[in-house]
């Protein structure tokens, strides 16, 4: 049967099992939107800005483990999507973005709403396509989903000129997809796995360092937790890796890096074997490279070969999917008769407990003073038993949330780790809440970040999403102010807002509930009211201590054991 | 160190941009790049010359392989291989220098591909060093125009660097 390109689009998404897409219509995608109108295989969620469509698809993908899908129009629709694509690329989140394009005969003519979308998004995507014939549309969509969801996952963009959506051809869905130049490795090399097991058992001071790959890989989190207990080895997570091991697991030392815990950074510095699992030795993790794990042999498990030995030399690389390789490794360890040296491990744990004793995240909350931002996060944890989906923006609030919330499960912590996109939080929460309608979704944000995608409150209202937005309102761009205080002699250049909206009234204007919290004794009441709300979004504007800093902190250029603790 | 990479890619629009974009985005340098379709017209072969230490070259190789349309790469500099380059050079040739230009062409076994009253255009194939020497010798005679392809290369011996048949 002959179908139009727009009908093929709908048919392909249906066959991919897509249940939800986020988008914004426009001239070049009108024919596709017309077909979307006529079908009921998937829902379309209308966001208020194309950047949000990509962030929402990202949030949906991270919570559900499925591919996020977005659709935008040509020109400004596509350029608005770029930040969202770059964000998903930096954090390896599987998303497919469809963009409209001017008709093929007008490409290159500076037509209305024309942009070189494939050119612009090339470095912000894992791969992108321009569809030039309607006959290529189905296979291109199939390949786009395949590339986005396999190997090191990431965003793929498919640019579809308007005439292609109207042209017709015989529709045949390609059941299988085979790209000869793209064959990601999932199984670890057995010899390397055996060598890794031997090194792990011989280590006296082993350390597990896991990242986003342990969360996104199927079975990664469970096996990471299992590996830690099998080896009785300490575990630290990157910002992206939080939730892979429960926060109350005795092996967990917290996050490492620039705002990591004292014990995590000291243990990395002191270990004799570091096993990196789905992590990429980002500069916010390593600090000064020659001071990072200086005494350790390094084993690195990663699905992306280019992440291995990029920043830190890996003595033993294992390319493969984290979940699969960890299974291989655990089986190999179980087969071995030699066991780890319990005396050495006991001494290692004694040393670690000494570092833990510093209680580096300690803060004082005066009973009648200003609310400490850390206190807000602690109370959110208490109110949700650490089981909420926590979505953040970027800055101080993000670091406090990472340090103080305490995650019990994977895929419940959504933050813009690699790109550091202010404005990510609220739109990502839309996708997260839709992926898990029964879960409590909390956006922890700042007064700066929240103003970058505030318009999505309208989307939250339209779709009756009971998202809780908690603004840690200090009147500053807090992280910028902190750096200016520490490194620029307190010259607060443009990091203070002389004008802020009344966030509670703003929430009401958008149809939600707004509460301003200025006193500590109002906090729990406001939180429990938000936790009980099932239909409307709620914004808690929490006025917090203005000049609180995030500690511990490793100054830029220092080694990670050179921490400023307070 | 100088490295010569052979790269097999899908012969489709935009692949060159992906490769060169990778080099510019990551701050690597391309010394030369030549590309043309292979016997299998769905595949193009690139020869790319770059410079970097071991770590950089390893990253370049990995990053190239990460590009979806890149089928495979080989660092020819790690193998016993040959490289050849082609140059076209237009040299001034008036009365007193006409014979000298031809003599240089003869010495280097270059061929004359175009003649005018005031110039000869010569073609020469060889290793980069030979081309350099040829150009050095022609410089005093006044080079009007010159273009060279950058090297192409191939591993020695009977084995092919090609896509495995299924």
Q: Residues A297-320: pLDDT tens digits? A: 999 999 999 999 999 999 999 999
Q: Does A288 touch chain B (CB under 8 A)?
A: no
What DSSP character marks residue A287?
B
For residues A63 and A248, give the distance between their C-alpha atoms in angstroms, rounded to a whole number.
21
Domains B2-78 and B82-151 belong to one CATH topology: yes
Q: Is A292 a catalytic residue?
A: no
Rounded mean pLDDT, A21-34: 98
Residue A70: its H or E element: strand A68-72
A112 among known catalytic residues? yes
Q: Give pLDDT, residue A477.
A: 97
Is pTM, for the whole model, over 0.90?
A: yes
What's the confidence (pLDDT) of residue A35?
98
Q: Tell me whether residue A178 is exposed, middle or buried, using C-beta atoms within 10 angstroms of its C-beta: 0 to 12, 13 to 18, 19 or more.
A: exposed
Architecture of domain A2-170: 3-Layer(aba) Sandwich (3.40)
Active-site residue, from A11, A16, A35, A50: A50
Q: Do you find a cis peptide bond into A552, omega within 30 degrees of 0? A: yes
Residues 6+ apart with CB under 8 A from A554: A257, A258, A259, A260, A265, A287, A560, A562, A563, A564
Query: How far off is chain B from A127, nearest CA to CA, in Å?
Result: 7
pLDDT, position A335: 94
Predicted confidence pLDDT, tens digits, chain B (166 residues): 999 999 999 999 999 999 999 999 999 999 999 999 999 999 999 999 999 999 999 999 999 999 999 999 999 999 999 999 999 999 999 988 999 999 999 999 999 999 999 999 999 999 999 999 999 999 999 999 999 999 999 999 999 999 876 5
| SS3 call for A400 | helix
Instruction: Give yes or no for A420 touching B (CB within 8 A).
Output: no
Report the 10 Å Cβ neighbour count for A413: 26
The partner residue sitting opposite B70, judged by closest CB among A122, A181, A304, is A181
Across the interface, which of B21, B58, B69 has its CB nearest the CB of A123? Answer: B21
- DSSP H stretches of helix in A232-341: 262-270, 283-286, 322-335
Question: For the structural domain made of A373-543, what CATH number should be given?
Answer: 3.40.50.970
Domain boundaries, chain B: 2-78, 82-151
Give the SS3 label for residue A460: helix
Q: From residue A254, how far is each of A235, A238, A239, A467, B109 by CA, in Å?
A: 8, 9, 10, 27, 71
Task: Look at strands A68-72 and A43-46 and give their pairing.
Answer: unpaired
Task: State how far the alpha carbon of A482 is from the alpha carbons of A102, A306, A395, A549, B111, in Å.
Answer: 46, 34, 10, 6, 70
Q: Which residue has the tokens 């796995």?
A: A193
Report the C-alpha gap between A62 and A254 in whole angstroms: 21
Q: What is the CA radius of gyration of chain A?
A: 24
pLDDT at position A101 over 90:
yes
ipTM of the complex: 0.91
Strands A413-414 and A441-446: unpaired
Question: Mean pLDDT across the stretch A512-540?
Answer: 96
Per the CB < 8 Å rule, is A180 touching B59? no
Cα–Cα distance measured from residue A56 to residue A195, given in angstroms and rounded to the nearest whole number: 42
The secondary structure of B14-45 as a DSSP string is THHHHHHHHHHHTT--EEEEEEEE-SSTTEEE
For chain A, helix, strand, coil in percent to 5 are: 40, 20, 40
Contact A228, A257 (CB under 8 A): no
Phi/psi at A219 (5° precision): 80, -5
Closest CA to A479 of A299, A218, A259: A259
Q: Which residues contact A217 (CB under 8 A, 6 or more apart)?
A: A278, A303, A321, A322, A323, A324
A50 is catalytic: yes
Strands (E), A256-315: 273-277, 297-302
Chain A CA closest to residue B22: A123
Q: Do residues A193 and A332 make contact, with C-beta atoms less than 8 angstroms apart? A: yes
Q: Where are the domains of chain A?
A: 2-170, 190-356, 373-543
Most A CBs within 10 Å, among B27, B46, B56, B62, to test the A interface: B62
Question: Which CATH number applies to B82-151?
Answer: 3.30.70.1150
pLDDT tier at A368 (50, 70, 90 boundaries)?
confident
Compute the half-sphere exposure of residue A518: CA atoms within 13 Å on the CB side of its CA. Answer: 3
Residue of A nearest to B55 (CA): A310
* A149-183: pLDDT as tens digits: 999 999 999 999 999 999 999 999 999 999 999 99
CA–CA dist A42, A566 (Å, integer): 51
Name the one residue in this structure whose structure tokens are 């199927």: A218
DSSP per residue over A182-202, as a string?
-----SPPHHHHHHHHHHHHH
Question: CA torsion angle for B32, B29, A151, A21 (degrees, to 10)?
Answer: -100
Measured over the CA atoms of residue A83, residue A89, residue A91 and residue A95, the dihedral's sign is positive
Closest residue in A to B24 (Cα–Cα): A123
Nearest to B63 among A147, A182, A306 (CB): A306
Residues A310, A224: Cα–Cα separation, whole Å = 23
pLDDT at B165: 64
Residue A390 backbone dihedrals phi, psi, to 5 degrees: -110, 125
Q: Is A522 known to be catalytic? A: no
**CATH topology for the A190-356 domain:** Rossmann fold (3.40.50)
H/E element, A156: strand A155-161
CATH superfamily of B2-78: ACT domain (3.30.70.260)
The confidence score (pLDDT) of residue A416 equals 98
Q: Around Cβ A213, how many Cβ atoms within 10 Å? A: 30
Which of these, A7, A13, A39, A36, lies nearest to A166 by C-alpha position? A7
Spatial separation of the C-alpha atoms in residues B123 and B140, rounded to whole Å = 18
The catalytic residue among A452, A479, A538, A563 is: A479
A181–B contact, CB cutoff 8 A:
yes
Paired residues of A283 in beta bridges: none
Fold match between domain A190-356 and domain A373-543: yes
pLDDT at B166: 54
- Subunit contact B55:A309, Cβ cutoff 8 A: yes
Whether A455 is a known active-site residue: answer no
Half-sphere exposure of B129 (CA within 13 A, CB side): 2
For residue A122, the chain B residues in CB contact (below 8 A) are: 14, 17-18, 21
A123:B25 CB<8 A: yes
**Residue A538: predicted pLDDT:** 98
Local structure of A154: helix, strand or coil:
coil
DSSP letter string over A161-175? EHHHHH-EEE----S
Secondary structure (3-state) at B120: strand
**For helices A5-15 and A137-149, what crossing angle results, to 10°?**
30
Say if the Cβ atoms of A182 and B68 lie within 8 Å. Answer: yes
Tell whether A305 is within 8 A of chain B (Cβ): yes
Distance CA A80, CA A163 (A): 23
């Amino acid at each position: 049967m002959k179908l139009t390109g727009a009908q093929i689009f709908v048919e392909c998404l249906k066959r991919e099992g897509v249940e939800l897409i986020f988008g914004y219509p426009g001239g070049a995608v009108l024919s596709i939107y017309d077909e979307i109108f006529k079908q009921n295989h998937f829902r379309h969620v209308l966001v208020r800005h194309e950047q949000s469509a990509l962030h929402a698809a990202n949030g949906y993908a991270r919570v559900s483990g499925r591919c996020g899908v977005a659709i935008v129009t040509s020109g400004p629709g596509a350029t608005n999507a770029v930040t969202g694509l770059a964000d998903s690329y930096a954090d390896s989140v599987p998303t497919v973005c469809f963009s409209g394009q001017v008709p093929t005969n007008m490409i290159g003519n500076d037509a209305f709403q024309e942009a070189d979308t494939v050119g612009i998004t090339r470095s912000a995507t894992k791969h992108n396509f321009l569809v030039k014939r309607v006959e290529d549309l189905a296979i291109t969509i199939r390949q786009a989903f395949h590339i986005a969801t396999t190997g090191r996952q990431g965003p793929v963009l498919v640019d579809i000129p308007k005439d292609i959506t109207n042209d017709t051809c015989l529709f045949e869905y390609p059941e299988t997809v085979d790209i000869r130049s793209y064959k990601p490795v999932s199984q670890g090399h057995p010899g390397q796995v055996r060598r890794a097991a031997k090194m792990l058992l011989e280590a006296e001071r082993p350390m597990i360092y896991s990242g986003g790959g342990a969360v996104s890989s199927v079975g990664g989190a469970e096996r990471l937790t299992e590996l830690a207990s099998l080896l009785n080895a300490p575990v630290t997570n990157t910002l992206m890796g939080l939730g892979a091991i429960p926060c109350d697991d005795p092996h967990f030392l917290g996050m490492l890096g620039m705002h990591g815990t004292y014990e995590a950074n000291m243990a990395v510095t002191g270990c004799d074997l570091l096993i990196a699992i789905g992590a990429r030795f980002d500069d916010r993790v390593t600090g000064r490279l020659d001071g990072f794990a200086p005494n350790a042999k390094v084993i690195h498990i990663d699905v992306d070969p280019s992440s291995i030995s990029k920043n830190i030399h890996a003595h033993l690389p294992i390319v493969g999917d984290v979940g699969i390789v960890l299974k291989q490794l655990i089986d190999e360890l179980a087969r071995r008769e030699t066991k780890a040296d319990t005396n050495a491990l006991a001494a290692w744990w004694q040393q670690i407990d000494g570092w833990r004793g510093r209680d580096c995240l300690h803060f004082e909350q005066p009973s009648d003073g200003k609310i400490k931002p850390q206190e807000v996060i602690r109370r959110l944890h208490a109110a949700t038993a650490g089981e909420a989906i926590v979505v953040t923006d970027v800055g101080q609030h993000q670091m406090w949330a990472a340090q103080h919330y305490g995650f019990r499960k994977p895929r419940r912590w959504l933050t813009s780790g690699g790109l550091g996109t202010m404005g990510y939080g609220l739109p990502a929460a839309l996708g997260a809440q839709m992926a898990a309608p029964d879960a409590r979704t909390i956006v922890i944000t700042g007064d700066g970040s929240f103003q970058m995608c505030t318009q999505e409150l309208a989307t939250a209202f339209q779709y009756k999403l009971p998202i809780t937005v908690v603004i840690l309102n200090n009147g500053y761009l807090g992280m910028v102010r902190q750096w200016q205080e520490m490194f620029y002699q307190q010259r607060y250049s443009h990091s203070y807002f002389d004008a802020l909206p009344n966030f509670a009234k703003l929430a009401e204007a958008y149809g939600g509930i707004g509460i301003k919290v200025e006193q500590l004794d109002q906090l729990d009441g406001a939180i429990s009211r938000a936790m009980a709300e099932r239909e409307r979004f709620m914004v808690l504007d929490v006025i917090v201590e203005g000049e609180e800093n995030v500690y511990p902190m490793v100054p830029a250029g220092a080694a990670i054991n050179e921490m400023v603790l307070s | 160190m100088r490295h010569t990479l052979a790269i097999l890619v899908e012969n489709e629009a935009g692949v060159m941009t992906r490769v060169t974009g990778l080099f510019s985005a990551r701050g690597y340098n391309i010394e030369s790049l030549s590309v043309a379709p292979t016997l299998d017209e769905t595949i193009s072969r690139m020869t790319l010359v770059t410079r970097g230490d071991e770590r950089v070259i390893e990253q370049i190789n990995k990053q190239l392989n990460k590009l979806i349309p890149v089928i495979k790469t080989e660092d020819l500099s790690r193998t016993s291989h040959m490289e050849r380059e082609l140059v076209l050079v237009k040299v001034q040739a008036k009365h007193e220098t006409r014979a000298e230009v031809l003599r240089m062409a003869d010495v280097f076994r270059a061929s004359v591909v175009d003649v005018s009253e005031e110039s000869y255009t010569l073609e020469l194939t060889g290793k980069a060093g030979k081309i350099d020497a040829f150009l050095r010798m022609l410089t005093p005679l006044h080079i009007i125009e010159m273009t060279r392809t950058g090297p192409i290369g191939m591993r020695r011996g009977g084995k092919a660097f090609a896509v495995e048949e299924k």
